[in-house]
Copies of this chain bind each other. A is one copy, B any other.
């Protein structure tokens, strides 16, 4: 796969690529982690755990199609820290690049990025092709990486539990949730209790965030209507 990626990267006129799930532990179970970036940068990336705060990764969590790194501020607003991360990457030899996000509900977020050497320009006419290649490359890597699946699936909630958790996420009290769903407060307490048990957490706040993270509820459930 690495060889193939290297070849494609070169053919499209790029210098580096990264086909990764956004986690820090590279030897993690079945996560994809195929990189050809300047080693210097990879080390720093790992050391500072940028996998989640890196602006490019953050932006990739906000969209469905690829984007040029130079246009990242049209997706998220950059803090001073973000700018310094980008500057540092540039120093390390990464020029402009293009990142294709890869999201599947309940799975780790990932992306496929291609980068020029520092100083070189992106060829914008090629970007649709890069988008396509990135998507399929990630999907291919994902399929390969899960051939041996022992399959740890995230806990699932019953419909009622999910409804309660969505309302918990909205900051409703158990009594309010009971009113909204037309059931007793005690019942709500029970549902929330059961949901907490399934996730193995003891606080409703973490419950809500976990449920949000793996798609049992969505931001739309929280802010919708």
Contact = CB atoms under 8 A, between A and B. Distances in A.
A208 B131 CA distance: 34
Interface stretch (A4-12, A85-93, A166-174, A180-188): A166-174
Contacts of A201: 171
Interface string A206-225: 11110011010011111111
A52 interface: yes
Given A62-B104, A63-B139, A212-B209, A49 B131 contact: no
Given A108-B218, A220-B52, A64 B208 contact: no
A29 interface: yes
A105 interface: yes
Nearest to A51: B220
A136 interface: yes
Contacts of A142: 64
A209 B208 contact: yes
A108 B201 CA distance: 25
Interface string A69-81: 0000000100000
A38 interface: no
Interface string A84-107: 000000000000000001111111
Q: Which bracket fits the contact residues of A?
A: 35 or more
Contact of A204 (B30, B51, B205): B205
A161 interface: no
Oligomer copy total: 2
Interface string A114-136: 00000000000000100110011
A54 to B, nearest CB: 10
A64 B171 contact: no
Nearest to A169: B209
Contact of A103 (B31, B104, B138, B169): B104
Interface of A: 23-24, 28-31, 49, 51-53, 58, 61-65, 76, 101-109, 128, 131-132, 135-136, 138-139, 142, 168-173, 201-209, 212-213, 215, 218-225
